[in-house]
């Protein structure tokens, strides 16, 4: 089941040479275009606003229960890789109940989930009179003992979209966007939307929000992360009354300001995609970073959080290997739940074996200053073979005028290294079905060779002036990295502000329409009275 502690890795300076290459990889195949991001989010929010209107028109109960949209998932967490083509939206339902009187239970047999009993939560008096219709409808979702069924809620959710099957297009700002499909995917109904420069999938999930005055049951983590939280009707065959817990706001708080960790998270997701490891869900990878960020913040370990990108990449590769070897990844909010529970053992072992081999070869190439093999390895992690081969079979993975990784490795003595992270590796252990180096990646002719003995002598006799220049260059490089991270953080804050602004506009338009409706009804009633 793997070691009880994560594998050790070399000291920070050992991996410093990876930083330039990882930055280049991020720019080429991971980071999203800023203009594209802004455009996509604007269009998505506008189309979503129009779709919600249609849903209200199609289903009276949805009109009664609809509260707001919550923007969740990789894109809004700053963890999306490359393209803004998929968006996750939680559609928050406002239930006509007394939330504080709900009986919420978490049982040992089902960690990570709860059931909700509404027997004592029913509205009374004037509130019940005001919400009589929707109350009668939602209590059709509970059983005779008062437990809320996720299966019945999802059946209703599907029925809302079934009434939209004739909807083939939405018009927003005089532009037409086609709706080509509504399909079921877990608790979500996915709408595929296409139009001018747009081709996106939007996952719409119904969720119920609990106020911060109601806490989830022990032993679910809560004390240090108060705020609203959600339950999600995730389908399961064995128990229709279980609801999955969701804490998107609290998770953003845990990861707030940790841009380097977010970047490494995106590296691991990209690597997962290149390896085609479909069972390894994005949330599983994110959970590794949630655990680490929480523990480091608890210890006030700012040193770790600000280590160089190369070190952090190597560190989290080791952490991923460790969780895979243990075949256990605890859910951050309820550690008794194993997120890997549905991935079979051979798959987890295969994934762990490949990560182990990648780490072993990466360390060996750095230690031997073998830039050619290191470049080949890094390309195999982040660039699918089809992106490196042209139609006529020419290898485009190396460029004639630049070194891909932008690194200049020097041989390192044993005195410069921390103890090895593992014993001499068996490069083919657990990887018989994987090809670590696709033949499509060739060596770049411009990668610098390791320094010779004569070069070492020349370096050792360099003047103080040259040393000062190198030191100044290193300082400027560090400053450049910090400035780049500040820019990325500012961009993310701008993006979040844009989302908040668009949400406010949507709420304003909705409020204005409600006002107009009330005024119209009031005027009509006044005429009748007169």
CATH number at residue 237: 3.30.460.90
Domains identified in the chain, total number: 3
Distances (CA, A) of 116 to 13, 157, 241: 52, 19, 8
**Would you state the structure tokens that stand for residue 191, as one six-digit string?**
């709408």
Calpha distance 19→21 (Å, rounded)? 5
Same domain, 187 and 165: yes
Task: Specify if 4 maps to a domain.
Answer: no
Distances (CA, A) of 309 to 167, 177, 258, 412, 455: 48, 41, 12, 20, 28
Distances (CA, A) of 96 to 130, 349, 377, 402: 10, 48, 57, 63
Higher pLDDT, residue 394 or 65? 65
pLDDT at 327: 97
Calpha distance 210→97 (Å, rounded)? 11
- E strands, 300-353, are 330-331, 334-338
Task: Specify if 471 maps to a domain.
Answer: no
Task: Specify if 465 maps to a domain.
Answer: no
Same domain, 132 and 49: yes
pLDDT higher than threshold 70 for residue 2: no
The residue to which tokens 């083509």 are assigned: 85
Same domain, 262 and 203: no
Same domain, 57 and 199: yes
Half-sphere exposure of 516 (CA within 13 A, CB side): 6
Task: Specify if 5 maps to a domain.
Answer: no
Task: Specify if 171 maps to a domain.
Answer: yes
Range of the domain at 325: 12-30+257-449
Nearest CA-CA partner of 181 in 195, 197, 196, 202: 202
Per-chain mean pLDDT for the chain: 79
How many degrees, rounded to 5, is the angle at CA 79 between CA 77 and CA 85?
95
Residues sharing a CB contact under 8 Å with residue 57, sequence separation 6 or more, in sequence order: 63
Higher pLDDT, residue 413 or 260? 260
Same domain, 74 and 161: yes
pLDDT at 21: 87
Calpha distance 115→135 (Å, rounded)? 19
pLDDT at 464: 56
Cis peptide before 248 (omega within 30 of 0): no
Confidence of residue 423 (pLDDT cuts 50, 70, 90): very low
Same domain, 268 and 225: no
Same domain, 180 and 52: yes
pTM of the entire structure? 0.72
Calpha distance 371→403 (Å, rounded)? 10
pLDDT at 518: 86
Same domain, 326 and 229: no
Calpha distance 416→400 (Å, rounded)? 33
Q: Are 115 and 340 in contact (CB under 8 A)?
A: no
pLDDT 10s digits, 174-204:
889 888 778 888 899 998 888 877 788 889 9
Range of lowest pLDDT (91-105, 156-170, 286-300): 156-170
From 246, 269, 287, give the residue that closes a domain.
246
Calpha distance 133→352 (Å, rounded)? 54
pLDDT higher than threshold 80 for residue 457: no
Torsion of CA 279, 280, 282, 285, to 10 degrees: 160
Same domain, 314 and 231: no
How far apart are the two ends of the chain, measured CA to CA in Å? 81
Provide mean pLDDT across the span 480-507: 64
CB atoms within 10 A of CB 346: 10
**Would you state the structure tokens that stand for residue 312, as one six-digit string?**
């952090």
Same domain, 355 and 370: yes
From 184, 217, 246, give the residue that closes a domain.
246
| Residue 353 CB-density burial (10 A; 0-12 exposed, 13-18 middle, 19+ buried) | buried
Task: Specify if 295 maps to a domain.
Answer: yes
Range of lowest pLDDT (344-348, 469-473, 495-499): 495-499
Alpha helices in 208-281 (DSSP H): 248-255, 259-275
Same domain, 68 and 209: yes
Same domain, 302 and 162: no
Task: Specify if 436 maps to a domain.
Answer: yes
pLDDT higher than threshold 80 for residue 415: no
Task: Specify if 2 maps to a domain.
Answer: no
From 426, 449, 472, give the residue that closes a domain.
449
pLDDT at 309: 92
**Would you state the structure tokens that stand for residue 409, as one six-digit string?**
């490795």
Calpha distance 233→236 (Å, rounded)? 9
């Amino acid at each position: 089941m793997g070691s009880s502690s994560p594998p050790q890795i070399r000291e920070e300076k050992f991996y410093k040479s990876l930083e330039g290459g990882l930055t280049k990889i991020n720019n080429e195949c991971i980071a999203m275009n800023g203009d594209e991001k802004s455009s996509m989010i604007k269009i998505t929010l506008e189309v979503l606003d129009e779709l919600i209107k249609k849903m209200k028109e199609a289903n009276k109960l949805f009109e009664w229960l609809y509260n707001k949209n919550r923007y969740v998932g990789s894109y809004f967490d700053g963890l999306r890789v490359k393209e803004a083509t998929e968006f996750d939206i939680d559609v928050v339902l406002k239930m006509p109940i007394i939330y504080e009187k709900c009986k919420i239970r978490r049982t040992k047999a089902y960690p990570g989930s709860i059931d909700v009993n509404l027997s004592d939560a029913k509205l009374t008096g004037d509130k019940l009179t005001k919400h009589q219709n929707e109350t009668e409808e939602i209590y059709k979702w509970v059983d005779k003992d008062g437990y809320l069924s996720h299966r019945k809620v999802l059946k209703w959710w599907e029925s809302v979209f079934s009434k939209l099957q004739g909807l083939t297009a939405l018009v927003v700002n005089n532009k037409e966007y086609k709706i080509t499909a509504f399909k079921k995917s877990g608790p979500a109904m996915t709408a595929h939307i296409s139009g001018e420069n747009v081709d996106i999938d939007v996952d719409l999930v119904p969720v119920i929000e609990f106020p911060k005055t109601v806490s989830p049951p022990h032993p679910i983590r809560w004390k240090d992360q108060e705020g609203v939280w959600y339950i999600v009707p995730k389908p399961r065959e064995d128990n229709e009354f279980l609801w999955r817990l969701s804490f998107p706001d609290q998770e953003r708080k845990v990861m707030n300001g940790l841009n380097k960790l977010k970047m490494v998270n995106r590296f691991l997701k990209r690597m997962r995609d290149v390896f085609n490891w479909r069972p390894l869900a994005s949330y599983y990878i994110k959970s590794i970073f949630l655990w680490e960020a929480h523990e480091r913040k608890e210890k006030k370990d700012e040193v770790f959080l600000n280590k160089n990108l190369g070190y952090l990449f190597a560190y989290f590769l080791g952490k991923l290997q460790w969780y895979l070897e243990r075949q256990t990844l605890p859910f951050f909010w309820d550690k008794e739940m194993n997120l890997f529970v549905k991935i079979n053992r051979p798959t987890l072992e295969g994934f762990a074996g490949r990560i182990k081999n990648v780490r072993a070869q990466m360390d060996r190439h750095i230690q031997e200053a073998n830039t050619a093999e290191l470049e080949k390895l890094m390309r195999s992690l982040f660039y699918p073979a089809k992106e490196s081969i042209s139609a006529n079979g020419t290898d485009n993975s190396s460029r004639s005028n630049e070194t891909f990784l932008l690194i200049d490795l020097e041989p390192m003595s044993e005195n410069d290294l921390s103890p090895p992270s593992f014993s001499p590796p068996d490069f083919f252990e657990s990887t018989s079905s994987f090809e670590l180096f696709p033949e499509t990646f060739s060596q770049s002719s411009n990668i610098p060779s390791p320094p010779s003995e004569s070069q070492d002598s020349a370096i050792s006799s360099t003047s103080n002036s040259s040393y000062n220049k190198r030191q100044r260059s290193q300082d400027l490089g560090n400053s450049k990295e910090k400035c780049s991270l500040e820019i990325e953080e500012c961009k993310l804050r701008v993006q979040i502000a844009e989302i908040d602004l668009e949400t406010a506009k949507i709420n304003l338009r909705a409020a204005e329409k409600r006002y107009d409706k009330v005024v119209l009804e009031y005027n009509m009633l006044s005429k009748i009275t007169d």
